[in-house]
Structure 1
Amino acid sequence: MDLLIKLLLTPVVQLLLLLLLSMLAAWRNSHHLKKLLLLQLACGLLLTSKPIADWLAAPLELAYPAFAQQQVKHIAVLGCSHANATFLPISSQLDSCSSARLLEATQIWRRQPQALIHLSGSIKDRREAHTEVARRFLVALGVPDQQIRLHPDATDTEGEITLLIKAIPATEPMALVTSAMHMPRAMRWFTSANRLPVAAPADYHLRRNPEDPLRWQAWLPTVNAMETFGYAFYEYAGLLEQHIRLHQLNRQFQN
């Protein structure tokens, strides 16, 4: 998705836009000022509520179960992000989404050391290729270099999956590792190409069993809730965009 859309889907930006409207209303002595301030307060409470954020994220994160050590020959890890700060140790250069995915891939590989690990994803404004940082992290965890394959030429999920489909034979079983909230969109790209990898979700935002009773402390505002909201908004928007794109591709194919 375009950078502007990504920014507008960020809860912090949404709150700032409401604040800007409130300041504009105050400057113009608008009678809507109180309503805007109340709306801003309500949005702030909503976006910092972890139970509501979890409720929004649950349909995405629980769509696929955790990997159950099905036999695979390939472990495909979709890229996320890393820092430009090369002075940091390798364990700190990767964003939490990347390190969680790579740790899950390593855990699968340790039980199935014959499997190849495929790393994909590219970030244009980084000094070092994302796949190279991920490779060094895997090597530091004990994965042999010869068991790693790099696919650095894609900057979005669709492109990554296109490269992986070309690189991995359809007859050889594959585990797909990505963030749990991102898994439904990633799996849909695979199924649209008649491929069905085994889902291996990682990097969960939902940290509580849905059946467990909520304590009152759970409703206190948290910054983590805003992060979960932002990721969920982004993924739902991505699924909508994907649905439209796949519909257009199907119409072109039929014509």
Structure 2
Amino acid sequence: MIYVIKFIYSFVLPPGTFVVLLTLLALWLLWKKQRGPAVLLLAVTLLLYLASAPMIANPLMRSLESRYAQPEQVQGDCLVVLGGGATTGTPDIDGKGSLGGSAASRLLTAVRLHRLTGLPVLFSGGQVFADSGNEGDIARRQLLGLGVDERSILIENRSLNTEQNAEFTAALMKEHGLSRPVLVTSAFHMQRAVAEFRQAGMEVQPYPTDYHISAAASAAWYAGKLAPSPGAIETVGTTLKEYLGILAAVIKEKI
């Protein structure tokens, strides 16, 4: 019964409610014999539905997340963590501002790897928007709060995108005599990040984390995968953004 209620809710709340309303409007146009506008509206509605359906979003995201596997053994001289968003002014245990979901997940993985390997942690990320936090500064505070020694922390807090992450990190590593980065970022972001670091002259050992889709998601099937979901729209948007970024990196490499 719980799953039936969840399925119904998905069509009562956005984006499902928009799919229902647009479909009804298209049927009304057909009833009014306005075939052209009705067909166009149905096509738009179908695109909206497909973009919001987990059965489409999950395989798209998995196509990125499955590109690299976590290595069995870490081989490098520095753990490089890429930022992924932060808030400013929000309360935290020991200060103001917090890393966003993906950035926090990446940082947590790096701290665990640091405890296993003793490698220094280099966090890369600046303040992307006027109302967002400076990721590098927040990461420094949180790394210290998690017990990482200050001598094992390097911060790059100026970069605004993945290209600058790679460029500024390469310079900072060179300054500290480091040359073999273990790259820690979200699995969906790894392919683009590896390409940007390669263009910056650095070969990395990828260590993907922050997986969004279960490994068994492609095998499991249930009615909920047909239900429109705002999370699925976000997943599709994230995936398309990454593929555009990968395409841009490929074009830039060939120019």
**TM-score band w.r.t. shorter chain:** 0.7 to 0.9
The C-alpha deviation readout for 1:160-218, integer Å capped at 9, x for no partner, is 10111222258743210111111101101222344221111122222242552322333
SS of aligned partner of 1:52? helix
Equivalent of 1:110 in 105, 110, 115: 115
Consecutive unaligned residues of structure 1, counting only runs of 5 or more, are: 1-11, 249-255
Find the counterpart in structure 1 of residue 49 from structure 2.
45
Amino acid at match of 1:205: H
Find the counterpart in structure 2 of residue 101 from structure 1.
106
The question of whether the paired residues in 2 share the 8 Å contact of 1:190 and 1:197 is answered with yes
Equivalent of 2:172 in 153, 161, 167: 167
SS of aligned partner of 2:86? coil
Find the counterpart in structure 2 of residue 86 from structure 1.
90
Q: Does residue 61 of structure 2 align to residue 54 of structure 1?
A: no
Find the counterpart in structure 1 of residue 12 from structure 2.
none
Find the counterpart in structure 1 of residue 158 from structure 2.
153
Equivalent of 2:245 in 230, 238, 241: 238
Q: Structure 2 CA distance, aligned partners of 1:117 and 1:100?
A: 14
Q: Structure 2 CA distance, aligned partners of 1:182 and 1:230?
A: 13
Amino acid at match of 2:206: A
How many residues were matched structurally?
A: 226
Amino acid at match of 1:228: T
Q: Structure 2 CA distance, aligned partners of 1:242 and 1:131?
A: 24
Mean Cα displacement is larger for which, 64-73 or 208-217?
208-217
Find the counterpart in structure 2 of residue 8 from structure 1.
none
- Which structure is larger by alpha-carbon Rg, 1 or 2? 2
Find the counterpart in structure 1 of residue 3 from structure 2.
none
The C-alpha deviation readout for 1:78-136, integer Å capped at 9, x for no partner, is 111111233355698221011111011111111012x1111112124147522011111
Q: Structure 2 CA distance, aligned partners of 1:236 and 1:109?
A: 31
Runs of 4 or more off by more than 6 Å in structure 1? Answer: none
Q: Structure 2 CA distance, aligned partners of 1:209 and 1:116?
A: 34
The question of whether the paired residues in 1 share the 8 Å contact of 2:91 and 2:97 is answered with no
Find the counterpart in structure 2 of residue 120 from structure 1.
124
The question of whether the paired residues in 1 share the 8 Å contact of 2:87 and 2:99 is answered with yes
Amino acid at match of 1:41: T
Consecutive unaligned residues of structure 2, counting only runs of 5 or more, are: 1-14
Change (3 A) 1:142 1:213: same
Amino acid at match of 1:186: A
Equivalent of 2:144 in 131, 139, 144: 139
Q: Structure 2 CA distance, aligned partners of 1:233 and 1:242?
A: 14
When normalised by structure 1's length, the TM-score is: 0.78
Find the counterpart in structure 2 of residue 186 from structure 1.
193
Change (3 A) 1:97 1:138: same
SS of aligned partner of 2:182? strand
When normalised by structure 2's length, the TM-score is: 0.78
Q: Structure 2 CA distance, aligned partners of 1:214 and 1:154?
A: 41
Amino acid at match of 1:227: E
SS of aligned partner of 2:88? coil
Offset at residue 245 of structure 1 (A):
1.6
The C-alpha deviation readout for 1:32-86, integer Å capped at 9, x for no partner, is 3312321232122211211211211222111110243323320011111111233
Q: Structure 2 CA distance, aligned partners of 1:50 and 1:130?
A: 31
